Amino acid sequence: MPRIQAPTVAEHRRRQERAILDATRALLAETGHAPSFSAVAKRAGMARPSVYQYFPSRDALLTAVVADVLPDWSRRVHERVQAAATPGERVWEYVAANLDLFASSEQAVARALSAVVEPAVLQAPMERFHAELQEPLVVALRDLGEPYPAEMAELVNSLIVQASASFGRGPTEDADAHGVPSPLPYDEARAMLQRLLGPYLGLSGKP
């Protein structure tokens, strides 16, 4: 029997499960593919059979990763929005927090999960995730005085998706000799959104 290095058996299991989920998440970000249990066990520092004690199959493991990462992403955005002082700043922090997620390794995790998890498994958690993520944005827009906060929230989200899609793209005139656009740096994409939204949010002149 493996030695329990925790105050209680329950705490030991919690730590082991956390290690497995973190290992799987890291491997998804690095490879873009569902990792084998051997790879997960090696990254988590445990024996391969131990992984099966917590997750009987790859599908069970990936489903658990989905249930783990979505609340984490939502929490990151909510914390930044709640820390902002004014409605306009709350809207901007929503934008900036989402851009940061798109620019981080978490985007690779999202792409990998979309590729390896059955759509039926992803649908309900993703719908809940987007609904929860939308709430602070709609509230901030309403507090800003926007007469159509839900509709404006959809437009803001569209801008975020469009800006994040431009990471790695550049203006046509910046294309190389083969016609391949040069990358648009993250800071530039963020600055473009700030120039566009700043006056509406009352952020003009602020860094």
Are domains 1-56 and 65-201 of this chain identical in fold?
A: no
**CATH entry, 65-201, from 1.10.8, 1.10.357, 2.40.128, 1.10.30:** 1.10.357
The domain locations on the chain are 1-56, 65-201
pLDDT at 142: 98
User: What is the per-residue pLDDT for 168?
Assistant: 56
Q: Which residues pair with 184 in a beta bridge?
A: 167
User: How many other β-carbons are positioned within 10 Å of the β-carbon of residue 121?
Assistant: 15
**Residue 182, pLDDT score:** 57
CATH number of 1-56: 1.10.10
Widest pairwise Cα distance in the chain:
64
Q: Determine contact, residues 41/48, Cβ cutoff 8 Å.
A: yes
pLDDT for residue 173: 45
Q: Of 64, 140, 52, which is closest to residue 96 (Cα–Cα)?
A: 140
pTM check: above 0.75 = yes
Sign of CA pseudo-dihedral 171, 172, 176, 180: positive
pLDDT along the chain (207 residues), means of 10: 63 91 93 90 93 92 91 94 96 95 86 86 89 94 97 95 73 49 77 93 72
